[in-house]
Amino acid sequence: MAVRRKAKTLDPRLNALRSDIDALQTDIKGLGTDAGEIANDRARQAMRDAQGVAERAYRLAEDTARQTVNDVEGWANDNLDSVRDNVRTQPLQSLGIALLVGAVFGAFFLRD
């Protein structure tokens, strides 16, 4: 009889232990799902942040390029008259310089 009493008190404890283990397994599965969702949320936020940085860098590069074009255009306009005067006064020298520049560009673009 003592064995039956121990078995009767042991069965509820085993059932409670099985129930706790099942609940623990469910909680662990939920924890894995939650961790995955958190990781996805952080990855999305990192992508949004990176996109913002890239857009700012693009705008800065675009502004810098526009300013450089304006500076070169201003320099060219300022120096155009002196170049025209030099070509008028020294046409052969200007032709030689143009031929030399053309040869350099030709050699550069036609090399293998």
Domain ranges of the chain: 2-82
**pLDDT band (50, 70, 90) for residue 97:** very high
Specify the pLDDT at position 6: 64
Specify the pLDDT at position 55: 96
Specify the pLDDT at position 5: 64
Q: pLDDT per residue over 5-44, tens digit each?
A: 666 777 888 888 898 898 888 888 888 888 889 999 999 9
pTM check: above 0.85: no
Sign of the Cα torsion 62, 64, 67, 72 reads negative
Sign of the Cα torsion 100, 105, 106, 111 reads positive
**Residue-by-residue DSSP string for 74-87:** HHHHHHHHHHHHHH
Q: 78-106 as b/e, with b when 16 or more CB fall inside 10 Å? A: eeeeeeeeeeeeeeeeeeeeeeeeeeeee
Specify the pLDDT at position 2: 56
pLDDT surpasses 90 at 95: yes
